[in-house]
Amino acid sequence: MRKVMMAVVVSAVISVGGAFAADGKAIFQSKGCAACHNPTVDTVGPSLKKIAKAYAGKEKELIEFLKGHGKAIVDPAKYPIMQPQLNQLKSLSEEEIKALAEYILSVK
Ligand code: HEC
């Protein structure tokens, strides 16, 4: 019983810790981005792999895009589908946007 209690306490501590450090993947999923973006296969939107390739070495530009200031470079003809999604990100902090960009760029 004691062991079980310890396990519960430990896992609670880990998940609380995770909530403080911005987790790009969790943000990506909680904001509904995954509905149109698969890591490796193009679906409604381009795959994250394709986006990561287009933005390789351009984290700053990707952050600008996510803030709604950038121009689409991956599939500009479909930007009207993507553009309204950026509203989901308006409430994010600078740190959260950066974590999100880093997650996208990490997909290979
Ligand atoms: C309704 C479907 C849909 C959803 C939901 C969606 N996207 Fe997209 N996304 C697209 C489409 C279509 C494109 C291709 C157009 C383009 O390149 O802008 C795209 C392109 C992108 C690009 C490449 C931009 C470029 O320079 O071309 C990024 C980055 C991106 N999406 C991030 C996100 C993030 C982050 C979210 C979650 C807030 C999200 N998307 C949610 C459909 C979607």
Which CATH number do you get for residue 61?
Answer: 1.10.760.10
pLDDT tens, position by position, 53-98: 999 999 999 999 999 999 999 999 999 999 999 999 999 999 999 9
Ligand 1 in reach of 75 Cβ (< 6 A): yes
In a domain, 62, yes or no: yes
Say what the pTM is: 0.86
In a domain, 4, yes or no: no
In a domain, 88, yes or no: yes
Ligand 1 in reach of 31 Cβ (< 6 A): yes
Per-residue pLDDT, averaged over 5-9, amounts to 59
Contact 101, 65 (CB under 8 A): no
Among protein residues, the one whose CA lies closest to atom 33 of ligand 1: 33
Contact 38, 47 (CB under 8 A): yes
**Ligand 1 atom showing the smallest separation from residue 104 Cα:** 29
Give the range of the structural domain holding residue 27, as residue numbers without chain letter: 23-106
Ligand 1 in reach of 82 Cβ (< 6 A): yes
pLDDT tens, position by position, 98-108: 999 999 999 99
Answer left, alpha or beta for residue 38, where phi above 0 means left and psi between -120 and 50 means alpha. Answer: beta
Cα of 45 from ligand 1 centre, angstroms? 6
Q: Which residues of 39-52 are buried (b: 16+ CB within 10 A; e: fewer)?
A: eeeeeebbbbbbbb
